[in-house]
């Protein structure tokens, strides 16, 4: 007799398809892992002005529903933030207004476990939680992201908007920490993406579920010959990415082009008004969103010169999977199980960062050594199969305690 599978409700504040940017990919891989072992119903809490969620048919969920969450205009979100104890990201959407809808949706679905992505949607949870066990994916630790941002060298204009958000950051560091504690008390476990973040939280019942990457097909053979391209891929509405891009264009590329005059930086990510000042730079090509990142990675050096941010950079894991060499800062590589000079090159100074890129362009033996070790690390730590093992461990622990 076939044993009946246990039931899970997957509640997400972000879509899983398409599986980008990185936060969507994380949710996508967790959902794929869950359906391997459970009967899963998916509920998405998405902005009312965005399309309903789509789950690919091959994922195999039992049902998929979208609850439309009203989006607050900036003044209303700011007023809500000022009156409440919620962090800014939890006030931009009116999650508390759809709590009743989520309660009803959960009541209609028999379940033993709710898997919530992410903590910004906590205001929608019924009474802080539902029946059965509860796991909450923090993904990044937002308080540490703010701490990094505040500690990094100020490179941003100090206009009224910037000053406002610096003030919000100071208050939100404490609000995120309070929210983490609230979730810890209510949930049967929380999830983060690295051992470093596990140690930062210091909670019991905290589980590592690494950020993975879904490699479309196996890649064999030696690393491709490196040409004179740097690649930066990322969501350009995300401030740490924008700051990293500014470092690349203003401080790395001028040094690099002194040594390699035809070097070019290629940028993958939707073009935003913030990058318009660089659009006419002949050394920089803005590609927008591309159908195949594999084409851009082949023969290029993947760069991650982040000075702030949180979690782990999926762009680095993606490069490892595709046998592309990586140059990153310490913050860019943070949380990954990497060693400078073994899997990638880590340089925090922009001049040294540029010199590392030149070295890779001129040293195929170094590229082969780095990418071979990096690909092995991807296979051991960051494939969907590995993600599944961590998802299984977290669910077993929660259901045992729930």
Residue 178 is part of a domain; what is its CATH number? Answer: 3.40.50.2000
131: phi > 0 → left, psi -120 to 50 → alpha, else beta; which? Answer: beta
pLDDT, tens digit (0-9, with 9 covering 90-100), for 216-231: 776 776 777 889 999 9
The verdict on 270 and 193 lying in the same domain is: no
**Looking at the 3D structure of the chain, how many domains does it have?**
2
- The pLDDT, as a whole number, for residue 213 is 94
- Identify which of 261, 311, 314 has the alpha carbon closest to the alpha carbon of residue 283: 261
Q: What confidence tier does 348 reach under pLDDT thresholds 50, 70, 90?
A: very high
The verdict on 267 and 181 lying in the same domain is: no
- 145 contacts: CB under 8 Å, gap ≥ 6: 240, 308, 309, 310, 311
pLDDT, tens digit (0-9, with 9 covering 90-100), for 378-388: 999 999 999 99
What does the alpha-carbon distance between residue 334 and residue 178 come to, in Å, rounded to a whole number? 24
The verdict on 54 and 200 lying in the same domain is: yes
Query: pLDDT exceeding 70 applies to what percent of the chain?
Result: 94
- The pLDDT, as a whole number, for residue 158 is 58
18 vs 44, residue with greater confidence? 44
**Residue 217 resides in a domain:** no
For the entire predicted model, the pTM comes to 0.91
How far is residue 8 from each of residues 31, 119, 131, 215, measured CA to CA in Å? 10, 18, 12, 26
Average pLDDT, the chain: 91
- The pLDDT, as a whole number, for residue 19 is 86
19 vs 98, residue with greater confidence? 98
Average pLDDT over residues 30-50: 96
- The pLDDT, as a whole number, for residue 367 is 96
The verdict on 61 and 190 lying in the same domain is: yes
Q: What confidence tier does 398 reach under pLDDT thresholds 50, 70, 90?
A: very high
Q: What confidence tier does 402 reach under pLDDT thresholds 50, 70, 90?
A: low
What does the alpha-carbon distance between residue 342 and residue 354 come to, in Å, rounded to a whole number? 18
Helix (H) or strand (E) holding 232: strand 229-233
- Length in residues, the chain: 402
**At what angle are helices 364-381 and 350-362 packed, to 10 degrees?**
100
The phi and psi torsions of 64 (rounded to 5 degrees) equal -140, 125
Q: What confidence tier does 182 reach under pLDDT thresholds 50, 70, 90?
A: very high
| Domain of residue 366, residue span | 229-381
- The pLDDT, as a whole number, for residue 98 is 96
pLDDT, tens digit (0-9, with 9 covering 90-100), for 110-142: 899 999 999 999 999 987 555 689 999 998 899
The verdict on 320 and 390 lying in the same domain is: no
The verdict on 121 and 254 lying in the same domain is: no
**Residue 219 resides in a domain:** no
94 vs 130, residue with greater confidence? 94
Average pLDDT over residues 55-81: 95
The one-character DSSP state at 344 is B
């Amino acid at each position: 007799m076939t044993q009946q599978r246990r039931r899970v409700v997957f509640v997400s504040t972000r879509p899983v398809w398409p599986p980008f940017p990185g936060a969507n990919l994380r949710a996508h891989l967790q959902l794929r892992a869950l359906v391997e072992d459970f009967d899963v119903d998916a509920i998405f809490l998405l902005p009312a002005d965005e399309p309903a969620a789509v789950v690919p048919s091959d994922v195999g969920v039992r049902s998929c529903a979208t609850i439309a969450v009203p989006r607050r205009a900036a003044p209303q979100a700011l007023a809500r933030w000022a009156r409440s104890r919620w962090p800014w990201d939890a006030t931009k959407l009116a999650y508390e207004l759809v709590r009743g809808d989520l309660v009803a949706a959960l009541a209609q679905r028999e379940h033993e476990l709710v898997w919530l992505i992410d903590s910004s949607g906590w205001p929608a949870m019924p009474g802080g939680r539902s029946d059965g066990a509860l796991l909450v994916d923090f993904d990044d630790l937002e308080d540490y992201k703010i701490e990094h941002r505040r500690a990094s060298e100020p490179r941003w204009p100090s206009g009224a908007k910037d000053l406002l958000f610096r003030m919000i950051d100071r208050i939100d560091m404490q609000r995120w920490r309070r929210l983490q504690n609230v979730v810890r008390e209510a949930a049967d476990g929380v999830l983060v993406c690295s051992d470093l973040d596990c140690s930062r939280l210091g909670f019991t019942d905290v589980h590592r579920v690494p950020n993975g990457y879904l490699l479309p097909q196996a890649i064999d053979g030696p690393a491709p010959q490196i040409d004179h391209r740097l690649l930066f891929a990322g969501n350009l509405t995300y401030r740490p990415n924008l700051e990293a891009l500014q470092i690349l264009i203003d401080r790395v590329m001028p040094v690099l082009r002194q040594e390699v005059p035809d070097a070019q930086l290629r940028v993958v990510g939707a073009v935003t008004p913030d990058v318009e000042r660089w659009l006419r730079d002949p050394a920089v090509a803005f590609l927008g969103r591309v159908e195949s990142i594999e084409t851009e990675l082949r023969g290029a050096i993947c760069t991650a010169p982040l000075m702030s941010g949180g979690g782990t950079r999926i762009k680095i894991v993606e490069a490892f999977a595709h046998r592309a060499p990586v140059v990153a800062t310490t913050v860019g590589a943070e949380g990954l199980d990497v060693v400078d000079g073994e899997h990638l090159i880590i340089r925090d100074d922009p001049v040294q960062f540029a010199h590392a890129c030149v070295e890779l362009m001129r040293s195929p033996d170094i590229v082969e050594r780095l990418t071979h070790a990096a690909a092995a690390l991807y296979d051991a730590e960051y494939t969907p199969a590995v993600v599944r093992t961590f998802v299984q461990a977290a669910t077993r622990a929660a259901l045992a305690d729930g």
